[in-house]
Amino acid sequence: MASASGEQTSAEYIQHHLTNLVCGKTPDGWTCDHNAVDQMGFLAFHVDSLGWSIFLGLVFVGLFRLGIPKLSTEAPSGIQNFVEMCIEFVNDNVQSIFTSAKNKLIGPMALTVLVWVFLMNLMDLVPVDYLPTLAGQVAEATGMVENSKDAYFKVVPTTDPNITLGMALAVFVLIIFYSIKIKGLKGFLAELTLHPFGKWMMPVNLVLEGVNLIAKPISLGLRLFGNLYAGEMIFILIALMLTFSSISIGLLGVGLHLIWALFHILILALQAFIFMVLTIVYLAMAHETEDH
């Protein structure tokens, strides 16, 4: 895009890639106008992140529904193989972490987290300019914006802290829910206040355990966000090399993009896996009843 409109500086190019398409409530009512973003309060949605997130969630559900065979227990084939492999992998992980307690929700949730987060991460491999440029062209053609570079479109949902922290929030709510369900309200409060120093140091214990508790969702969400944001940033910087009018730098950029993309496949899968495992571990900890 930068090469198309020569006025854009490198900083603007990067900034453009890091800005979401926001629709929110301003004092004048709901709007998707980028210039009004500053007037929006909490009631604003990153339509691009959320849209891609929901779309990829539907892809996950569709893929896995397709993987359900016609009630056949014969040797699986094709997509069913893949689906069963995923489920077996997730199930093994869940069962190795959930040794004593049993919870029928954990498996499906871990599967959703793994596949969904992986799909969202995978969007990072789409070259950074493709979808935003397409979105800009569509927006210009439909008259939503006057100039395509005024259309903002951030594709990878997991580079948006709202998305990662949103999932972490759901996990956090589940942690508290199961803590109270399994240990009772008293047991949960006791866990928060009676460790590690005994009951005479209750305030200190509460601070320590409170930080411990709050740190779980924060670290869970920010870890994923940080890794993907950094990866996306590097993709943007590499893409920036292609905007220079030098063939050698451009070729170097192509090579670097390839190398980083290959390496990034590892990070994508790994971060999805880590998110899943930590979700399982945190919930397993919520199910632990014995004192330590």
Where in the sequence numbering do the catalytic residues fall? 219, 223, 227
- What is the size of the binding site for other proteins (CB under 8 A)? 49
Q: Does 91 bind other proteins (CB under 8 A)?
A: yes
- CB of 108 vs other proteins, minimal distance in Å: 4
> Contact with other proteins (CB under 8 A): which of 7, 29, 65, 143?
65
Which residues are bridge partners to 46 per DSSP? 22
Peptide bond connecting 196 to the previous residue in cis, omega within 30 degrees of 0: yes
135-164: contacts with other proteins (CB under 8 A):
157, 160-163
Q: Which residue in the block uniquely carries the two structure tokens 């896995």?
A: 64
Comparing CB distances to other proteins, the nearer of 79 and 252 is 79
- The answer to whether 109 and 167 are in contact (CB under 8 A) is no
- CB of 147 vs other proteins, minimal distance in Å: 24
According to DSSP, residue 105 is labeled: T
Stretch that binds other proteins, among 55-63, 203-211, 241-249, 262-270 (CB under 8 A): 55-63
- CB of 158 vs other proteins, minimal distance in Å: 10
CB atoms within 10 A of CB 207: 12
**Within the chain, where are the H helices?**
10-17, 47-66, 79-97, 106-122, 130-141, 161-193, 202-241, 247-287
N-terminal to C-terminal alpha carbon distance within the chain = 58
C-alpha distances (whole Å) from 23 to each of 29, 96, 128 are 11, 43, 22
> Contact with other proteins (CB under 8 A): which of 17, 98, 112, 232?
112
> Contact with other proteins (CB under 8 A): which of 14, 31, 34, 84?
84
CB atoms within 10 A of CB 157: 30
Length of the chain: 292
> Contact with other proteins (CB under 8 A): which of 2, 83, 151, 278?
83
The rounded distance, in Å, linking the Cα atoms of 172 and 179 is 10
Q: Under 8 Å CB-to-CB from 281, ≥6 apart: which residues?
A: 97
Comparing CB distances to other proteins, the nearer of 229 and 257 is 229
1-30: contacts with other proteins (CB under 8 A):
18, 22, 24
The rounded distance, in Å, linking the Cα atoms of 73 and 28 is 59
Comparing CB distances to other proteins, the nearer of 3 and 81 is 81
Comparing CB distances to other proteins, the nearer of 49 and 148 is 49
> Contact with other proteins (CB under 8 A): which of 9, 30, 61, 207?
61
> Contact with other proteins (CB under 8 A): which of 10, 15, 96, 105?
105
- The answer to whether 237 and 215 are in contact (CB under 8 A) is no
Stretch that binds other proteins, among 35-43, 240-248, 262-270, 284-292 (CB under 8 A): 35-43
Interface positions with other proteins (CB under 8 A):
18, 22, 24, 40-46, 49-50, 53-54, 57, 60-61, 64-65, 67-69, 71-73, 83-84, 87-88, 91, 104-105, 107-109, 111-112, 116, 157, 160-163, 165-167, 169-170, 173
